[in-house]
Each structure stands twice: as structure tokens, then as C-alpha cells.
Amino acid sequence: MRRFLVLAVIFTFLTTFTLEEAFARAGGGKSSGSRGSRSYSAPAKPYQAPSSPSQVQRGQQSIPQTQAAQPSRWGGFMGMLAGGILGGIIGNMLFSSFAHGAGAGGYGGPGLFDLILIGLIIFVIYKIVSSRRKAQQPVYAGGYQQYSGLERPQEVPVYDTTASAIEDTQRGLSHIRQFDPAFDERQFKEAVTDIFFKVQAAWTNRSMEPVKNLLTPEMFGIMSKETETLRIEKRVNRLENIALRNLEITEAWQEGGKDFITVEINANVIDYVTDEAGRVIEGSNTDPVRFVEYWTFTRPVGSIQWQLCAIQQA
């Protein structure tokens, strides 16, 4: 019975850990791909005018404090409860082993099986804790962890970079127009909207082949691997009632003979996972969710066809 309970606890923790790796919309709801030299920088956000003149004085502004880290689903009472249960099981295992051994006149130590189970429990706890910490760290395209998101920096005056960011974007767009005089921002946004919906449809169908020409080879490989995982697990990530609320260009530049443009995508979608029989196993098929992502597109300078090369989470 003792060994059965330990195995049941391990199974529960492993199941919980696996379920948290849930797929969500195209790209799995995480950052992936690369965008040249800017792969390791946070995505730029659309310009927003200050609500009052006092917010920007003498060309300086303050860095707002980051939002406090949200407690994990296994924090607080549930975390203590789980820890208490595991501690009780391990303690009972050790003491009962000593007791049985002493009663039999033997050495009185835990057996090999008990030690293996304790090691498994410790390993599972380590994996869960490390995954929670990693999940709290924003990972940008290319996998570089820019900052932990847990610190609360003091408000210190820094130079306002809003104007320089806008100038950088406008300068990048002007460079693109030098080699493509017909480039039009409105037409580009329409093309991005078309790609966005096509990629989401391909993701739901678990095949990126129909949009292969809309993705860079790297992104095609990444997304194809993820959709293949969905097929193997007999899961379908269904995306319904997608509503694109806003799309804005936030960055534009050239490097290495290529054009790059990043856009902020603000959308709503009903995002849930079913088995192949259509039974809902994750998410809700009635409640829409809102998300903000940054999609970067690239093409050789002078070319016409834009391809998705990176997805970054807000």
C-alpha cells in the first residue's frame, strides 16, 4: 500500500506537469523563431501619447515598476498541502523501514525500492519547481531570457526613448521603400492579416504544408514539429471565432540583405483542445481569450513575398 500511494503521487505530479505544456494557438503560445540581430531584444510596442504633460518632463520619464509575480497554481495552501503529503509519505517510508528492520533484528534501513521512490519524488518536485520559475521568465525569440520579471526596480529617471523608437521605425520603412518604391503600409497590413488567418487555420488542421511558402524554413520546421506532436498525441487545438482587434507596425529595419518588419497583433479567439472524437480536454469552447503577440516578417531586399520568421509574446 505504501508503494502504491507513492506511485500514485508521482503519477499525479507527472500528469499535472504534462498538462501545463498545453498547446495554445499557432506557435503554441510561446516565443520562437529568429529576427536577425534583434532576436534577443524585447518587442517594441506601439506609440502611446502620455495622458498628462507631467508624465514627461525635460525629456525624461520614470521606469514603472513591474507587476508583482503571480503566485503559481501550486503555491500557497495547495503547495503546503502537497509538501505535507509528500513529506508524510517519505517520513512514513523511512520510519516504517527502520521499524520493520529493527523488529526483524536486521539493519533497519530503507530498502532499495524505497530509495528509488524517494529519488523519483525529489526529481519530480525539482522539475516542477524549475518549470514554474522558467515559466515566469519572459523568453524572446531565439530563447534568450532578457529578465526574470520578478524584480521591482526603483523608479529612476531615464531618457524618453519613445521619439527615437518612432524615428527608428520610420527610418527603417524609408530604407525599405528605397528598394521597393511600391511598398505600402496599408497593403502590408492586409497581407499580414491574410497570413495570420492562414497560419491559424493550418495550425488547427495540424499541417503547416499549406502555408510553407509563408514561413521561413526555421519557422516551418518549428511549427511542423509542434503540429506533429499534436497528431501523435491525438489532440486538436481548435481556434474558432478569431477576431483581429488591432494590428500595428512597431519595428522596421534592414540587415544582411533582408527587410524586417515587426507588427503587434491584438486578437480574440476561442482557443481549446479536443481529442480526435471532439471531446474538450483543455480550455473552453465558449469563452474567448484575448492575446497580444508580436509577429516579425522578413524577405530579401527587393523581393515581394513576406515570410513569418518569429513570434514573440507580449
CA distance 284 to 215: 29
pLDDT of residue 177: 95
Verify that 174 and 279 share a domain, yes or no: yes
Verify that 261 and 194 share a domain, yes or no: yes
Dump pLDDT digits (tens) for 29-80.
Answer: 668 888 888 887 877 777 554 444 444 444 444 334 434 444 444 445 445 5
> Is residue 52 assigned to a domain?
no
Question: Could you tell me the residue range of the domain that residue 105 belongs to?
Answer: 1-22+73-135
> Is residue 57 assigned to a domain?
no
> Is residue 279 assigned to a domain?
yes
CATH number at residue 292: 3.10.450.240
Dump pLDDT digits (tens) for 256-304.
Answer: 999 999 999 999 999 999 999 999 999 999 999 999 999 999 999 989 8
Measured at the alpha carbon of residue 221, what is the angle toward residues 219 and 222, in degrees to the nearest 5? 65
Verify that 37 and 17 share a domain, yes or no: no
pLDDT of residue 6: 54
| CA distance readout (Å), 35 to 43, 46, 197, 282 | 11, 18, 21, 32
> Is residue 211 assigned to a domain?
yes
pLDDT of residue 110: 59
Beta bridge partners of 272: 238, 283
Number of domain units in the chain: 2
Verify that 181 and 97 share a domain, yes or no: no
Verify that 176 and 275 share a domain, yes or no: yes
Give the global pTM: 0.60
> Is residue 257 assigned to a domain?
yes
Verify that 108 and 177 share a domain, yes or no: no
